[in-house]
Amino acid sequence: MRTLLALTITTLLLAGCSSGAATTATTTKAGADASADLACIHYSNVTQDVHDGILTDAELREKWKEINDTASVSTTPGIAVNARAALAAISTGTVAEFAVAVQAFSDACAAVAH
């Protein structure tokens, strides 16, 4: 599992960098709902925790469960479906699927200025 964590760290850092991870809810474009805002902010915080090296594999999965729980009620395009895909991928241990889902979630957050 340490290999999974190392790969997810790299994935999250790359996705976080491409999305401009440090944001606030006041930068949201029209059309984003509160659940999308909260899920994207939580994702940004998790990305920073991964960068700082303070999450175990189990904690990272739990953080994605929290992101998914928040995102699941969002109607903002790409938020709920990609959070769910990332949780499913990290739960099964499929790093390639996780990387794709995280990037898609990051892109959905970037689309609403997160």
pLDDT at residue number 113: 81
* Mean pLDDT of the region 78-95: 94
- pLDDT at 15 exceeding the cut of 90: no
Instruction: Fill in the amino acid letter for 88.
Output: A
Structure tokens at 66: 């929290």
Cβ(99)–Cβ(11) under 8 Å?
yes
Encoding tokens for residue 97? 């699927």
Q: Could you read off the pLDDT of 27-57 as tens digits, one per residue?
A: 445 668 999 999 999 999 999 999 999 999 9
Give the pLDDT mean for 56-80. 96
Is the pLDDT at 81 greater than 90? The verdict is yes
Task: Provide the pLDDT for residue 33.
Answer: 95
Residue ranges of domains in the chain: 2-111
Is the separation of the CB atoms in 37 and 24 below 8 Å?
no
Query: What element of type H or E holds 80?
Result: helix 79-92
Cβ contacts of 72 within 8 Å, gap of 6 or more? 35, 80, 83, 84
